[in-house]
Amino acid sequence: MILYILKRLLAMIPVLWIIATLTFVLMKAAPGGPFDSERQIPAEILKNIEEQYHLNDPLLVQYGRFLGQLARFDLGPSFRYAGRSVNDIIAETFPVSATLGILALIYALLLGVAAGLFAASKPNSVRDYSAMGISMLGICMPSFVIGPLLVLVFASTLKWLPVAGWDSWKDMILPSLTLGTSYAAYISRLTRAGLMDIIRQDYIRTAKAKGLSGFAIMVRHTMRGGLLPVVSFMGPAVAAVVTGSLVVETIFNIPGLGRFFVQSALNRDYTLVMGTVLFLAVLVLLCNLVTDVIYAFLDPRVRYE
Amino acid sequence: MFANLAQKVLIPALLAYVVQNAPNTLAALPLADQQVIRIGNGTEPKGLDPAKVTGVPEHHILQNLFEGLTGQDPVTLEPTPGMASSWKVSRDGKTYTFNIRPDAKWSDGTPLTAEDFVSSWLRALAPKTASEYAYQLYYLENGEEFNTGKIKDPAKVGVKATDKRTLVVTLKSSTPFFLRLTSFYTLYPVPAHIIKKYGEEEWTHEGKMVSNGPFRLTEWKINKHIKMVRNENYWDAGKVKLSEAVFLPIENIDTENKMFHQGELDMTNTVPSLRIPKYAKEKESSPEQHPYQSHPYLGTYFYRLNVNKKPLDDKRVRRALALTIDRKTLIEKVTLGGQTPALGFTPPNTAGYTFDGTLNATMTPAALAEAQKLLADAGFPGGKGFPKLDILYNTSEDHKKIAIAIQQMWKKHLGIEVGLYNQEWKVYLTSQAQMNYAVSRSAWIGDYPDPNTFLDMWVTGGGNNNTGWSNKDYDRLIAEAARAKDQASRHAIFKKAETILMSEMPVIPIYVYTRNRLQSRKVALLDGALNAVPWKSNILDSMPLKNYVMTK
């Protein structure tokens, strides 16, 4: 098992190198540069700036320098935010996004698995259809609708919670609900589908024949296999959710990492684009690895040698 | 009987008169216990190094952390003493001698001397600082040469400290607005001792930055807030009433609007345009109470025309296009922001300069007839044979709506077909710079209140011209204005230049910007003598918190 994990970790290096190279090429191919603005900078001044940031070197030299920095885990200075390094920006904003993401996932898991169990416990009944109907609504409603609706009700009208910000625990409630709702909906549907699949298996019939209670069967036997689809969904979902969401962070004015994924590309902030892309890539790869390992524990048929 | 009358009527009337006309002194204001202001400030600033940054959110923050040689009157924007307590200008207008005030200090208590200005300006000009706004110092003798590396010796640049308290500045030519430039952030002093201690990158971070303005930085959380508190080492600290200011970067304008109504903000950065008609109406019934504020802003929204492209190479076509935009309807039905129609390129009353535009605010039959005749003379009667034109704009709902309205106006009045296409911001900037367009949406916000910032960009080959337009007389007039002895003759020369610009029409002015915001009525404005004055924003949208106070 340990050997398997090591192998997977080593395999990440070429994957990351390909991602970094592709990002580098795409970034340089996009028209415009980090220092273009409506107020054009005189050519001589632009020359000073490009020299300072090594933008006037041949592309291959820039690429080589960038790989060298990367090997030292140095993502370089941000082009947009003078005096901030990309490492600093990620270090300052990732914990915020991660906190929000984890809260949202806990909520999504609790609600989603509960709703899935509820629906699967009596398939094709009123409770099944109503639970799945609501979850479909949750999948369809985008966060830029849910967010402002929640703010309207709980902040602007009832005045129980703040409109936006990131100072106290109260600020965390509405964004977590907004971010988690669609995940909860997905999870409930996956849970239901997974459980329905397992219920028909022979070993469940055996358990029933042994005279186990419905509750014991559900918790001990059905859930273990039935949650496998949820586990494989959670791998990439965790990576996506902890790195933040542009929409939720903008609606609630949260100082997280999510906004930089889009903003840095729009600003042609080359180093920050690269930093956020690689950071997300590493997280996705790690989460996938963790998922595969958890799989081995949950499903006795899966073995890694 | 008379006594009674006096008691009942005259005395209260007299009292009311006195109260109304007495200056509203600070002592008379019901001051809030917490002198804290929370301000919506648009986007996260690019940085806090005055020499390196550009932009409006940066300006709002830096002008409160730092102070230049001169300050600005909060209402009139006239230069006031700042780090320099007084100054003398030589007869030829080229040499300025500033006396640095003896009590000038950095926020860590270190004395601030004339030498600090020399090192700060040379730093902004040094090529390795890579300052975008270095050209704000090109007015100095050898400033440009030093920045572009033609001169290596900093001693040749026109800024010298003859002693600790005397700064002598030599300019390339007489620059009548120089004392306004000295309150601009590129010319602020920066603490050499702190930059040396923490390095070029880190010195602006919280816990490290030292500044010389009315406030000092205490917290800077990226995309969250910037907090500053009163700087007790500021020479005029006694007059600063706010104890703390918080600037919040809020990009979502609906979020900002809700935060204001919830009491989480005292001032917003802007107002969602769809709400403006409602606010403007409410304000009519309670002008004193309503938080909606709308003020002219030193900026023009306009369309650039590519004069190298047929048929836009014909000035008759360009003028016909300019005449057939119904600016008033556009503002009332589309932009909704209470903007004013732009009839010339320079916004009206820019430091006392107003160009009497030759354009029309509304579509008059005369303007329509003139436009149609011009188009016919150019060979396109009724728009026949006119090639399809495309309007380029950067992706945004607001620009799109305006472009659609103008497309319809040109179709209706001139019978010409106009297409629309949008590009993402940086792609759009590239297209514009390479003149890869026919008509392009543009905007220009003045750097300083002077017509020069609007007019010198149109000289032949100017870095921001991007229209291909060139006119020798125009170039000559702009150069002449720089040498003019007094403001009146300067303005007369600018008027001549702008007349040429507006008859040639390489650009079509559309509207003059307004600055719209919501502002709690708790925020009061004080003048230099600490009297509360009626709220008045200024055309530069500067935010001198030194002059703000929170009331109950």
Give contacts of A254 with chain B, Cβ < 8 Å: 223
Measure the CA–CA gap between A90 and A94, rounded to whole angstroms.
5
Residues of A in Cβ contact (< 8 Å) with B433: 36, 40
Closest-CA residue of A relative to B42 is: A253
Is the Cβ pair A36, B132 closer than 8 Å? no
Rounded Cα distance between A279 and B533, Å, is 52
Query: In the prediction, which pLDDT does B328 show?
Result: 94
CA torsion B193→B194→B199→B204, rounded to 10°? -150
B130 touches chain A (CB under 8 A): yes
Farthest-apart Cα atoms in chain B, separation: 89
CB A80 within 8 A of CB B47: no
Q: Counting every residue, how long is chain B?
A: 552
**What pLDDT is recorded for position B537?**
67
Strand positions, DSSP E, B344-414? 389-394
Residue B23 confidence (pLDDT) = 53
Nearest to B201 among A44, A48, A83 (CB): A83
Nearest chain A alpha carbon to B466? A40
CB contacts, 8 Å: B148 with chain A: 44
Is B148 in the A-facing interface, judged by CB distances under 8 Å? Answer: yes
> Chain B contacts of A31, Cβ < 8 Å?
426-427, 430-431
The helix (run of H) or strand (run of E) holding residue B244 is strand B244-248
Give the Cα separation of B368 and B372 in Å (integer).
6
Q: Which residues of B touch A36 (CB under 8 A)?
A: 426, 429-430, 433
DSSP per residue over A232-301, as a string? HHHHHHHHHHHT--HHHHHHTT---SHHHHHHHHHTT-HHHHHHHHHHHHHHHHHHHHHHHHHHHHH-TT
Residue B463 contacts A where some CB pair is shorter than 8 Å? yes
Distance CA A279, CA A268 (A): 17
| B contacts of A42 (beta carbons < 8 Å) | 135, 463
Q: Is the ipTM above a cut-off of 0.90?
A: no
Q: Compare all CA atoms of chain B with the CA of A148 and give the residue at the minimum distance.
A: B255
Compute the Cα dihedral for A183, A186, A191, A194 and give only its sign. Answer: negative
The pair of three-digit structure tokens given for residue A272, joined into one six-digit string: 């920050």
Chain A positions touching B255 (Cβ under 8 A) are 151, 163-164, 250-253
The candidate with the shortest Cα–Cα distance to B307, out of B477, B419, B471, B455, is B471
Sign of CA dihedral B370, B374, B375, B380: positive
Output the CA torsion sign for B475, B478, B480, B483.
Answer: negative
Q: Find the closest chain B residue to A77 by CA distance.
A: B201
Residue B533's pLDDT is what?
Answer: 81
Query: Of A154, A159, A157, A192, whose CA–CA distance to A175 is shortest?
Result: A154
Of A36, A92, A253, the CB nearest to B430: A36
Predicted pLDDT of residue B15: 43
Residues of chain B with pLDDT under 70: 1-24, 537
> What tokens does B502 get?
């507006």
Select from A45, A80, A90, A172 the residue whose CB has the most chain B CBs within 10 Å, as the one to mutate to test that interface: A45
Query: Chain B, 52-111: which have a CB under 8 Å from a chain A CB?
Result: 52-54
How many Å lie between the alpha carbon of B36 and the closest alpha carbon of chain A? 17
Provide the pLDDT for residue B21. Answer: 45
CA–CA min distance A39, chain B (Å): 7
The upper half-sphere exposure of residue A115, i.e. CA atoms within 13 Å in the direction of its Cβ, equals 24
CA distance A175 to chain B (A): 13
Owner of token pair 């905007």: B443
Q: What crossing angle do the helices spanning A270-298 and A258-266 adopt, rounded to 10°?
A: 140
Is B100 within 8 Å of B166 (Cβ atoms)?
Answer: yes
Low-confidence ranges of chain A (pLDDT < 70): 305
**Structure token pair of residue B216:** 């000092």
Residue of chain B with shortest Cα separation from A76 = B201
Nearest to B516 by CA among B278, B354, B225: B278
How many whole angstroms separate alpha carbon B521 and alpha carbon B267? 10
Ranges of beta strands (E only) in B19-175 are 24-25, 36-40, 70-72, 79-81, 84-89, 95-100, 159-163, 166-170
Whether residue B264 and residue A163 make contact (CB cut-off 8 A), yes or no, is yes
pLDDT score at B28:
79
- B436 close to A (CB below 8 A): no
* CA–CA separation, B325 and B303 (whole Å): 11
Mean pLDDT of chain B: 90
- Mapping DSSP onto H, E and C, the string for B90-124 reads CCCCCEEEEEECCCCECCCCCECCHHHHHHHHHHH
Option in A35, A81, A268 nearest B47 (CB): A81
Is the four-CA dihedral B406, B412, B418, B419 of positive or negative sign? positive
Distance from CA of A183 to the nearest CA of B (A): 24
- Give which of B145, B194, B255, B304 to mutate to test A binding, by max A Cβ within 10 Å: B255
CB pairs under 8 A between A and B: 139
